[in-house]
C-alpha cells in the first residue's frame, strides 16, 4: 500500500499491522520518534489493516490541521468509542456538524470575560495549596513530591469552576456548604477523596492497553458486541446494587461512568433548584443554559442551530473534568522541575513578578491581566510545553474525504499521526539554539504555525487552552511570590516518563523555602 505511494515504513504483520510493536512499547511517542529517524518525515504504519501516516513534516500537517481541515475534521478514536450511545457524545469525540455545533456553544465559555470571572475561584484553590505547602515547609529539611499536590489543586479548581453550593448527594449522603460535583472542596487535604481516586484510575489506564479495545480496533465488526458487553455488564451491576445495596461496596463501577453518574446527580439538583435559587454564572450553568437557548449564528455562511443538546451536557462536563485534571497538573510539575534545576530562570520570573503590580489584593480582573501579560513567564510556559508536550495521541486525525497533500493521495479512512516530539525538537524549526536546551527566548522569534502544538493546531485545538495557561501562570506567580523552589538529590536524578493518556513524570521532588519579604 505505502510502497506503491513511494512511502517507507517498518515491516508489518499481515493481520496485526504494527499493533504488536505499538502495544508492546513502553512509550508510543519514543517509538514513532525512533521510526522517524529511520524512515523520514512521512512514513506509513498499519493499525491492523488501516493505514496511518506518521508525519513530522510541518507543511504537510499545516494542510491537515488548517488548510484542508474540512477533509480532516475527525479524530481517529478507538472503535468502541465510535458506537453511538443515544447521542451522549462530547466535544472530543464529536465529528462533523455535531462537533461544529458543540464547539460554537462551548467556545464563549473560555472568552476573556469568562476567564476573568473565574480568576478569584482559581486563586482560592491556589491559596489552599499554599496553606498545604506551609504545613510541609515547617520542616525545613523535608522534600515533597509536588506533582501530587498539583493534582489535588487542579481537581479543586475544576470543582470550583463548576460550582455547586446546594446540598449535594454523595452515595445517598448529603454535605452542606460549598461543593461541586458533590465533592467536599477540602480535597487538597484529603488524599482519599473518591473523585481524585477515580480520576487517578482513569488516567492510569490507557484504553489502547485494554484487551476489549484492542480486539475492537483489530477486528472492526466486533466493536458493537464488545461495546454492548462492557455497558451491559454495567447495567447488570446497577440492577444488582438496586436489589442489594450492600453490593455497592464490592462491585466497582467503571471510573468514567462513576464520575458521570455523580455529575448527573448534581445537574438534577441544580435543575430542581433553579426556580428558587440565585442564578449562577459558572461553567455548569453556562452549559445548562446552552441546552435551552436556541441561537443561530448570523456570521456563518450556513446558519446553524447553536444549542447543546440535553444528552450532551453530562459528557461535556465530564470531559472538562477529565481534561482539566491531569494535563494542567502535569504541566505545572514539569514547570516546577525546570524552576528547581535552573535557578537563574526562576529569579528572572520572580523579578518580573516584583516589577509588575501584582499583590494579594488584586481584584480578579487585575490578577487576570497581570498573569496573562507577564511576557517572560509566557515565554517560560511555552518553552516548558515545547520540551514536555503533554500528549501526542490526542492530535491524531482521520481523513474524511480522499484528498491530495504534497503529491500524496490520502484516502478516506486513513489516519494522520503527528510526531510531536520530533517536531518540537527539530533544530530547523527551533534553532539556532540547541532544541535540547531550555531557552525561553527562542519563542520571541516567529515560528512555523505547526512547530508548537502542545494544545493541537487549527480549529480543533484544545478549547480550554487559555484557561489552562491562566491556571498554570496564576499558580506559578503565587508560588514564586512566597517560596524559592530548590532541587533535592532526587530532583537532580531527574524523573521517569510514563506515557498513558498523558505523558507524565513519575514524581517531581523539590524543597520549598519561604522567601524573605
CATH topology of domain 87-386+465-487: Cytochrome p450 (1.10.630)
Cite the DSSP H helix spans in 309-363.
Answer: 310-341, 343-355
Residue 93 — very low, low, confident or very high, per pLDDT cuts 50/70/90?
A: confident
Which residues, 6 or more positions from 35, have their beta carbon under 8 angstroms from its beta carbon?
Answer: 9, 10, 43, 45, 54
The answer to whether residues 150 and 190 touch, using CB atoms and an 8 Å cutoff, is no
Q: Which residue has the higher pLDDT, 219 or 356?
A: 356
The three-class DSSP label of residue 263 is: helix
Please determine, for residue 179, whether its predicted confidence score (pLDDT) is greater than 60. no
Is the pLDDT confidence value at 217 over 70? Answer: yes
Contact 430, 442 (CB under 8 A): yes
Q: 69-84 as b/e, with b when 16 or more CB fall inside 10 Å?
A: bebbbbbbbbbbbbee
Q: What are phi and psi of 509, to 5 degrees?
A: -95, 130
State if pTM tops 0.95.
no
Q: How far apart are CA 210 and CA 503, in angstroms?
A: 18
Report the C-alpha dihedral over residues 411, 417, 419, 423, rounded to 10 degrees.
70
Per residue, the 3-state secondary structure of 489-517, as one string, reads HHHHCCCCEEECCCEEECCCEEEEEECCC
pLDDT band at 304 (very low <50, low <70, confident <90, very high): low
Task: Determine which of 56-60, 108-112, 119-123, 171-175 has the lowest per-residue pLDDT on average.
Answer: 171-175
| H or E stretch at 194 | helix 194-204
Cis, peptide link before residue 384, omega less than 30° from 0: no
Distance CA(81)–CA(230), nearest Å, equals 11
Give per-residue pLDDT as tens, 58-85. Answer: 999 999 999 999 999 998 877 767 766 6
- Strand-pairing partners, residue 168, are 175
* Angstrom distance (rounded) from CA 471 to CA 324: 10
Question: Are the beta carbons of 93 and 80 closer than 8 angstroms?
Answer: no
pLDDT at position 105 over 60 = yes
Average pLDDT, the chain: 83
- pLDDT (0 to 100) of residue 433: 97
Give yes or no for a contact between 93 and 75, defined as CB atoms under 8 angstroms apart. yes
- Return the half-sphere exposure (C-beta side, CA atoms, 13 A cut-off) of residue 134: 9
Q: Is 70 exceeded by the pLDDT of residue 253? A: no
Most confident of 301-310, 433-442, 490-499: 433-442
Judge residue 99's burial from the number of C-beta atoms within 10 Å of its C-beta, 0-12 exposed, 13-18 middle, 19 or more buried.
buried
| Residues β-bridged to residue 301 | none
**Separation of alpha carbons 97 and 89, rounded Å:** 13
- pLDDT, one tens digit per residue, over 384-394 is 999 999 988 88
157, 468 Cβ separation under 8 angstroms: no
Instruction: Give me the pLDDT at residue 35, please.
Output: 98
Q: Where are the beta strands (DSSP E) in 328-451?
A: 397-398, 403-405, 408-410, 415-418
Amino acid at each position: 500500500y505505502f510502497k506503491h505511494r513511494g512511502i517507507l515504513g517498518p515491516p508489518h504483520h499481515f493481520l496485526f499491522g504494527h499493533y504488536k510493536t505499538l502495544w508492546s512499547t513502553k512509550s508510543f511517542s519514543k517509538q514513532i520518534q525512533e521510526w522517524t529517524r529511520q524512515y523520514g518525515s512521512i512514513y506509513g504504519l498499519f493499525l491492523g489493516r488501516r493505514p496511518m501516516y506518521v508525519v513530522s513534516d510541518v507543511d504537510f500537517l499545516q494542510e491537515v490541521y488548517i488548510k484542508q481541515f474540512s477533509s480532516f475534521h475527525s479524530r481517529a478514536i478507538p472503535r468502541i468509542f465510535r458506537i453511538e450511545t443515544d447521542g451522549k457524545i462530547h466535544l472530543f469525540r464529536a465529528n462533523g456538524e455535531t462537533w461544529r455545533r458543540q464547539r460554537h456553544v462551548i467556545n464563549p465559555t473560555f472568552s476573556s470575560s469568562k476567564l476573568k470571572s473565574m480568576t478569584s475561584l482559581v486563586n482560592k484553590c491556589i491559596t489552599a495549596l499554599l496553606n498545604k505547602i506551609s504545613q510541609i515547609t515547617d520542616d525545613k529539611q523535608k522534600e515533597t513530591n509536588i506533582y501530587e499536590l498539583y493534582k489535588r489543586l487542579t481537581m479543586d479548581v475544576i470543582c470550583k469552576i463548576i460550582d455547586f453550593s446546594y446540598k449535594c448527594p454523595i452515595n445517598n449522603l448529603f454535605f452542606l456548604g460549598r461543593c461541586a460535583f458533590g465533592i467536599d472542596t477540602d480535597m487538597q487535604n484529603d488524599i482519599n477523596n473518591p473523585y481524585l481516586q477515580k480520576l487517578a484510575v482513569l488516567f492510569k489506564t490507557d484504553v489502547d492497553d485494554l484487551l476489549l479495545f484492542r480486539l475492537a480496533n483489530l477486528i472492526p465488526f466486533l466493536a458493537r458486541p464488545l461495546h454492548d458487553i462492557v455497558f451491559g455488564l454495567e447495567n447488570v451491576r446497577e440492577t444488582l446494587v438496586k436489589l442489594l445495596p450492600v453490593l455497592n461496596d464490592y462491585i466497582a463501577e467503571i471510573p468514567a461512568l462513576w464520575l458521570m453518574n455523580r455529575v448527573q446527580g448534581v445537574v438534577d439538583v441544580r435543575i430542581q433548584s433553579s426556580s428558587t435559587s440565585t442564578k449562577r454564572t459558572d461553567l455548569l450553568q453556562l452549559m445548562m443554559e446552552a441546552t435551552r437557548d436556541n441561537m443561530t449564528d448570523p456570521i456563518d455562511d450556513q446558519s446553524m442551530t447553536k444549542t447543546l443538546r440535553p444528552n450532551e451536557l453530562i459528557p461535556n462536563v465530564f470531559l472538562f473534568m477529565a481534561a482539566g485534571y491531569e494535563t494542567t497538573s502535569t504541566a505545572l510539575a514539569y514547570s516546577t522541575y525546570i524552576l528547581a534545576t535552573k535557578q537563574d530562570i526562576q529569579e528572572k520570573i520572580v523579578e518580573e513578578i516584583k516589577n509588575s503590580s501584582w499583590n494579594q489584593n488584586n481584584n480578579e480582573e487585575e490578577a487576570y491581566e497581570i498573569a496573562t501579560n507577564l511576557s517572560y513567564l509566557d515565554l517560560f510556559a511555552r518553552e516548558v510545553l515545547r520540551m514536555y508536550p503533554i500528549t501526542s495521541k490526542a492530535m491524531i486525525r482521520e481523513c474524511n474525504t480522499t484528498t491530495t497533500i504534497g503529491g500524496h493521495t490520502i484516502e478516506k479512512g486513513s489516519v494522520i499521526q503527528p510526531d510531536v516530539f520530533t517536531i518540537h525538537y527539530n533544530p530547523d524549526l527551533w534553532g539556532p539554539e540547541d532544541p535540547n536546551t531550555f531557552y525561553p527566548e527562542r519563542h520571541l522569534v516567529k515560528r512555523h504555525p505547526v512547530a508548537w502544538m502542545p494544545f493541537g493546531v487549527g480549529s480543533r485545538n484544545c478549547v480550554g487552552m487559555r484557561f489552562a495557561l491562566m491556571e498554570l501562570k496564576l499558580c506559578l506567580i503565587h508560588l514564586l511570590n512566597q517560596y524559592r523552589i530548590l532541587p533535592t538529590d532526587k530532583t537532580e536524578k531527574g524523573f521517569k516518563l510514563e506515557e498513558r493518556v498523558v505523558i507524565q513524570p513519575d514524581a517531581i521532588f523539590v524543597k520549598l523555602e519561604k522567601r524573605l519579604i
